[in-house]
Amino acid sequence: MDQNAQKPLSRLARQQAVREERKNKQAPWWAALLIAVMMALAVVPLITSQNSDYAVPQAKKEQAKPKSAAEKTSKAKPAPKVKTYVVKSGDSWAAIAQKYGISAEELAEQNGLDTSSTLAVGQKLKIKQVK
């Protein structure tokens, strides 16, 4: 008998061989998909780190020194003083603003109004001054 001659496969053996063949055909697709996903995940941090709007360099974070309380207060802007002014007869936006050294538009804006708004006697206006 010829040694190369094959014995007929049983039904179970044929089914198993077909399953193995299918697995072998699918393996490259899964491997390619896995490689593509891994490459995409590796590229995302590189893209975002090159865009300065999104990336925060770690070296600069570590080098930043905490400022002492004296340095913080010396550079901080003073809090604006808020005064209340009661409108009197004959007052106008410009006259009141001139007394406090600000523009009429700024005064109206501070109070959520417009300079075209009419002032009423007894109306209270808040005036913020930075000095």
Q: How far apart are CA 32 and CA 117, in angstroms?
A: 70
| 55 and 22 fall within a common domain | yes
Same domain, 37 and 56: yes
Q: Identify the pLDDT of residue 29.
A: 66
Residue 114, domain extent: 77-129
Indicate the pTM of the whole model: 0.40
Residue 131, pLDDT above cutoff 60? no
2 — pLDDT class (breaks 50, 70, 90): low
Residue with the two structure tokens 């808020």: 82
Domain co-membership, 62 together with 83: no
Q: Please give the torsion angle defined by the CA atoms of residues 52, 58, 63 and 67, in that order, rounded to the nearest 10 degrees.
A: 80
- State the pLDDT at residue 129: 75
Q: Are 87 and 53 found together in one domain?
A: no
Q: Per-residue confidence at 58, pLDDT binned at 50, 70, 90?
A: low
- The residue to which tokens 């014995």 are assigned: 7
Digit-coded pLDDT (tens) for 14-56: 889 888 887 776 666 667 788 888 888 877 766 666 555 555 5
| In-domain check, residue 52 | yes
Q: Which tokens in the block code for residue 16?
A: 């198993």
